[in-house]
């Protein structure tokens, strides 16, 4: 009969099992399937994996529930099955483990970003973890392993949820990079100290890296906590061979490090991705040969001061920021990055716009699916060669957090100060990219910008210097789900947005109603309205029916239908844009004017109705 888990590890280290996903994949189960669903629909392969690890000598069996939370299951339309999958996973593992071995409930990350890097609140995250863990505890697990955590805030919510869900031991395992820090930048000393203070029973590392880095990281954690440690490394770093990830660390190599893990304070050792029953068998033999280890003494390291810097005053960050602060109603015009590497036409266009009194140029990010110059590169070229202020649109799509931080630091070094933080939709026109990666959304981008402005990275680590970004966000007053749009706008404001830019406006009334409600949480936030001069009836149809978030009023559609195409249509589109601009002028603090097909003179003509810009010296294209 097994003793309570925490009593047993006081006497000696226990061996945990290895990878579940690796073994199921080897059995021919597609990685595109929901592996957690197998607990109910196809339990036999799961039982076979558990049994293989038991035969190899594992004393702790993890349930096949790593992704069995409502957020991950939602991707398979299975979010209503959280309790069912976790109960079944616990029962399967117990059936194999019997009464002599321990069953650990596996709890992985939610697969989404939490505040401040994403739209999901800490309370929502804790509720999702609590729902999963409560089912595992109900199913009879002996302990909970919260594993592969990249975000320390998320790990904290999972730990809190575990304490609320039941009275079982809780292990929290972070995942780290080659330098021992988490992907969000938290150092081992910092997350080790925090997990100790928050009450984790064991603190550990799993996944992402091989045994050597895990060992070095455990050594650093051991200097700040007296808690028992755990280690479940990958079988080395994967190597891609013919489209498959192969893990090359041998069982003997993994076993040699298992003994080192125990010597530094680990009381649970096992494996993660790429590890097999052969690895666990070798680890068990190595652990069995060790004599019981005495508890180590923790050596406390003085906590590193945060060194948060006071942000640069908003009005001092850029010329655009100063104009907004002075309520000068700045005029921005869009310049799209060119196809290829020749930006001559765009540079000439920017010079033309500067001469016509335009205050700044906004540059969209990721226009279409053709080979275009990067928005960041064009922004730097125009600012340096023309000297006009730039509003760089920056999208989180297909960029991870580290790439985003690198891009933003580089943009600041190049002199760019104004950024519009966007999430962007998935690619619409590309036949090459069928999926998109979203590590953070626009809310997370604003939080990253806010951190950088205080001299910190996303992990709260001091950078030694600070940025001075003016952070803008996008809003859509004509959104189909207006409540969700307002909710997200409020989150963006709370994250630190300095101004907002609307989608192109063709309805004054929806804008007025949206801003009236938004003033409840953003009473003084400057709003820049988007204005688009239509060029033909076909252009109006396209904007109204095929561009997400844009609605052209029936009256305007009728006017463009009568004008149809050609010069008459362009003149009517110009007139509509000018009328719209005059109507919304009392509601907003600036305007962003599109230049369809690179017609910069047309955009200047729209702005001329304000009476503060010089009339265009030439209607010919620069």
- Does an H or E element contain 320, and which? helix 319-325
Q: How far apart are CA 272 and CA 240, in angstroms?
A: 17
Mark whether 224 and 350 lie in a shared domain.
no
Class of residue 58 by CB neighbours under 10 A (exposed 0-12, middle 13-18, buried 19+): buried
Contact between 261 and 214 (Cβ < 8 Å)? yes
- The residue-averaged pLDDT of 597-602 equals 92
CATH code for the domain in which residue 597 is found? 3.20.20.220
| The predicted structure's pLDDT at residue 167 | 93
Q: What is the pLDDT of residues 69-99, one digit of tens each?
A: 999 999 999 999 999 999 999 999 999 999 9
Same domain, 345 and 412: yes
Asked which of 228, 263, 288 is the last residue of a domain, the reply is 288
Q: Using an 8 Å Cβ cutoff, are 185 and 151 in contact? A: no
Q: Are both 280 and 353 inside the same structural domain? A: no
* Residue matched to tokens 């265009």: 616
* 425/282 same-domain check: no
Q: What is the mean pLDDT of residues 194-212?
A: 93
Has residue 208 got a pLDDT over 50? yes
Q: Do the Cβ atoms of 443 and 471 come closer than 8 Å?
A: no
Residue 311 in domain: no
Asked if 528 and 386 sit in the same domain, the reply is yes
Range of the domain at 115: 5-288
> Tokens representing 440?
């953070």
Q: What is the arithmetic mean of pLDDT over 395-418?
A: 90
Q: Single out the residue in 263, 288, 313 at which a domain terminates.
A: 288
Report residue 446's pLDDT band, with 50, 70 and 90 as the boundaries: very high
pTM of the model: 0.74
More confident of the two residues 126 and 430: 126
CATH number at residue 249: 3.20.20.330
Residues 535, 490 share a domain: yes
3-state secondary structure 471-540: EEEEECCCCCCHHHHHHHHHHHHHHCCCEEEEEECCCHHHHHHHHHHHCCCCCCCCEEEEECCCCCHHHH
Residue 315 included in any domain: no
Q: How confident is the model over 215-236, as pLDDT tens digits?
A: 999 999 999 999 999 999 988 6
Cα–Cα distance for residue pair 598/338, rounded to 1 Å: 10
- B/e letters for 70-104, b = 16+ CB within 10 Å, e = fewer, are bbbbeeeebeebbbbbbbbbbebbbebbeeebbbb
**What is the domain count for the chain?**
2
Q: Which H helix or E strand runs over 159? A: helix 152-165
């Amino acid at each position: 009969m097994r003793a309570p888990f925490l009593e047993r590890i006081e006497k000696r280290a226990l061996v945990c099992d290895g990878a579940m996903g690796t073994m199921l994949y080897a059995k021919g189960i597609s990685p595109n399937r929901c592996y957690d669903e197998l607990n109910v629909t196809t339990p036999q392969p799961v039982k076979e994996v558990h049994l293989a690890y038991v035969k190899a000598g594992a004393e702790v069996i993890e349930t096949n529930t790593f992704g069995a939370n409502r957020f991950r299951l939602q991707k398979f339309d299975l979010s209503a099955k959280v309790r069912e999958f976790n109960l079944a996973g616990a029962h399967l593992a117990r059936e194999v483990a019997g009464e002599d071995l321990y069953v650990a409930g596996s709890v992985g990350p939610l697969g989404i970003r939490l505040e401040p890097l994403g739209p999901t609140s800490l309370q929502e995250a804790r509720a999702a973890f609590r729902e999963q863990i409560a089912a595992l505890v109900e199913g009879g697990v002996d302990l909970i392993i919260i594993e592969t955590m990249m975000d320390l805030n998320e790990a904290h919510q999972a730990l809190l949820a575990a304490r609320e869900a039941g009275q079982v031991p809780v292990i929290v395992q972070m995942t780290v990079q080659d330098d021992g820090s988490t992907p969000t930048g938290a150092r081992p000393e910092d997350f080790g100290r925090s997990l100790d203070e928050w009450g984790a029973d064991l603190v550990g590392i799993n996944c992402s890296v091989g045994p050597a880095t895990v060992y070095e990281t455990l050594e650093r954690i051991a200097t700040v906590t007296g808690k028992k440690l755990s280690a479940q490394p990958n079988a080395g770093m994967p190597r891609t061979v013919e489209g498959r990830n192969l893990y090359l660390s041998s069982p003997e190599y993994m076993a040699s490090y298992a003994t080192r893990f125990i010597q530094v304070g680990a009381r649970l050792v096992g494996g993660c991705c790429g590890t097999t029953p052969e690895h666990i068998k070798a680890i068990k033999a190595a652990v069995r040969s060790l004599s019981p280890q005495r508890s180590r003494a923790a050596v406390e390291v003085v906590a590193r001061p945060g060194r948060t810097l006071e942000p640069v005053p908003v009005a001092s960050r850029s010329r655009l920021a100063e104009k907004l602060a002075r309520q000068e109603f700045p005029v921005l015009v869009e310049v799209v990055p060119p196809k290829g590497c020749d930006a001559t036409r765009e540079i000439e266009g920017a010079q033309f716009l500067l001469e016509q009194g335009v205050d700044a140029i906004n540059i969209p990010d990721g226009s279409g699916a053709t080979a275009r110059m990067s928005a960041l590169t064009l922004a730097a070229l125009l600012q340096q060669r023309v000297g006009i202020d730039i509003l760089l649109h920056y999208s989180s799509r297909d960029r991870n957090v580290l790439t985003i931080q690198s891009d933003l630091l580089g943009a600041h070094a190049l002199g760019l100060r104004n950024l519009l933080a966007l999430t962007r939709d998935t690619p619409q026109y590309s036949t090459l990219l069928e999926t998109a990666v979203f590590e953070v959304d626009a809310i997370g981008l604003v939080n990253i910008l806010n951190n950088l402005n205080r001299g910190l990275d996303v992990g709260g680590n001091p950078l030694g210097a600070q940025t001075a970004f003016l952070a803008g966000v996008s809003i859509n007053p004509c959104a189909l789900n207006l409540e969700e749009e307002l909710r997200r706008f409020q989150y963006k404001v709370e994250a630190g947005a300095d101004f907002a830019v609307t989608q192109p406006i063709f309805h004054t009334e929806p804008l007025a109603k949206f801003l009236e409600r938004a003033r409840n949480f953003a009473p003084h936030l400057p709003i820049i309205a988007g204005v688009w001069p239509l060029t033909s009836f076909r252009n109006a149809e396209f904007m109204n029916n095929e561009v997400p978030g844009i609605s052209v009023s029936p009256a305007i559609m009728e006017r463009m239908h009568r004008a149809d195409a050609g010069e008459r249509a362009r003149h009517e589109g110009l007139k509509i844009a000018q009328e719209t601009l005059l109507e919304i002028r009392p509601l907003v603090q600036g305007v962003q004017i599109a230049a369809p097909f690179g017609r910069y003179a047309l955009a200047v003509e729209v702005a001329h109705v304000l009476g503060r810009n010089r009339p265009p010296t030439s209607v010919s294209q620069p």
